Amino acid sequence: MEFERFMAMAEPRLRTALTAAYGPVNGRAAAVDALSWAWEHWSRLSVMANPVGYLFRVGQTSARRQQATAFPLDADVHAPAEVRPWLDLDLVRSLRDLSEQQRLIVLLVHAFGWTVRETAEALDLAPSTVQTHAERAIARLRQSLEGCDANDR
């Protein structure tokens, strides 16, 4: 695959996942770092089974160096709904209660459509571990959000 075609496919997925995990500023910076690494190491990256997953790890390392905080999980949960109409505060609170790993897995698999295999490779976990974390996290979210009414927000 050519680098340009790879970039067109990989950049939006990578940017979206890193932004969800590390916030709009640190996530985008991490995506830029990962894509820069991809350009410099294209011959190595182009033969990998899951190059986007590998780049996610490169970006994750970059974001951790920046001591990023997650977004929107760092949002002011006491802000009135009119201030942030796009933000489901009950969901934010529930996501905060998950472990960092469960939260990231839920976002990658359920919000961004990564497969369990892609997520497992990106996070250096067994697919069964990703599946278990995803199932447990979704169960906790359902339990936590039970009784919440979206119309109240």
As a whole number of angstroms, the distance between CA 12 and CA 73 comes to 21
Residue 14: CB atoms within 10 Å: 26
As a whole number of angstroms, the distance between CA 38 and CA 85 comes to 37
The string of pLDDT tens digits covering residues 44-94 is 999 999 999 999 999 999 888 875 444 455 555 555 555 555 556 677 788
As a whole number of angstroms, the distance between CA 27 and CA 136 comes to 26
In sequence order, the 6+-apart residues with CB closer than 8 A to the CB of 122 are 50, 52, 53, 54, 56, 57, 108, 114
Higher pLDDT, 96 or 52: 52
User: Would you give the distance in Å from CA 73 to the centre of its chain?
Assistant: 12
Give Cα separations from 38 to 23, 45, 140 (angstroms): 21, 7, 36
Q: Is the pLDDT of residue 37 over 90?
A: yes
Q: Tell me: cis bond preceding 80? Omega within 30 of 0 counts.
A: no
CATH 1.10.10.10 fits 89-152, yes or no: yes
Q: How high does pLDDT run on average in the chain?
A: 82
Q: Is the pLDDT of residue 135 over 50?
A: yes
- Taken in order 39, 41, 45, 51, the sign of the CA dihedral is negative
As a whole number of angstroms, the distance between CA 16 and CA 31 comes to 9
The pLDDT value recorded for residue 4 is: 93
As a whole number of angstroms, the distance between CA 8 and CA 29 comes to 18
pLDDT band at 96 (very low <50, low <70, confident <90, very high): confident
- Taken in order 80, 81, 82, 85, the sign of the CA dihedral is positive
DSSP tag of 72: T
The pLDDT value recorded for residue 95 is: 83
